[in-house]
Amino acid sequence: MSEHAGLPSVRWSLRGLNEEGDEAWLIRGVSRKLYRCPGCHGEIEIGAEHTVVQYVRRLGGTEHHHWHRRCAEELLVPQLQGLKRVPAGESSQDKLEARGRRKSGQRRRR
Ligand SMILES: [Zn+2]
């Protein structure tokens, strides 16, 4: 495995759980506008390869942030449990949003 085995690529995304039990999906992205990295509060330049962190909340709903690859690897990855590589196709925006809705549906009481 390369030194970047812990980083998302075109083929692979990563999925782990944060301490609240929410899923955190790390997905390779290329920025189409300027983003601010929550790790270092610095800018991510347009066109830069970076890491999209998409949360699927335990109680339903999704939320995503754009991180520098290095910041995600150094600051976020160590906080995640059970981090696994998953095929990038599993981490498309609509699949993850559907996942968030399903979780929300399970929680509903009738
Ligand atoms: Zn950063």
Q: Could you tell me the two tokens for 16?
A: 């782990």
Q: What is the mean pLDDT of the chain?
A: 90
Give the whole-angstrom CA distance, residue 58 versus residue 38. Answer: 21
Give the whole-angstrom CA distance, residue 80 versus residue 71. Answer: 14
Model pLDDT, residue 7: 87
CA of 49 to the centre of ligand 1 (A): 12
Model pLDDT, residue 51: 97
CA of 51 to the centre of ligand 1 (A): 10
pTM to 2 decimal places = 0.87
Q: Could you tell me the two tokens for 71?
A: 């910041």
In the chain, % of residues over pLDDT 70: 87
CA of 7 to the centre of ligand 1 (A): 14
Is residue 1's pLDDT more than 50?
Answer: no
Give the whole-angstrom CA distance, residue 8 versus residue 101. Answer: 24
Model pLDDT, residue 90: 96
pLDDT band at residue 15, thresholds of 50, 70 and 90?
very high
Model pLDDT, residue 10: 94
Q: Could you tell me the two tokens for 4?
A: 């970047």
Question: Residue 102: which residues within 8 A CB-CB, separation 6 or more?
Answer: none
Is residue 109's pLDDT more than 60?
Answer: no
Segment 74-82 shows an average pLDDT of: 95
CA of 44 to the centre of ligand 1 (A): 7
CA of 8 to the centre of ligand 1 (A): 16
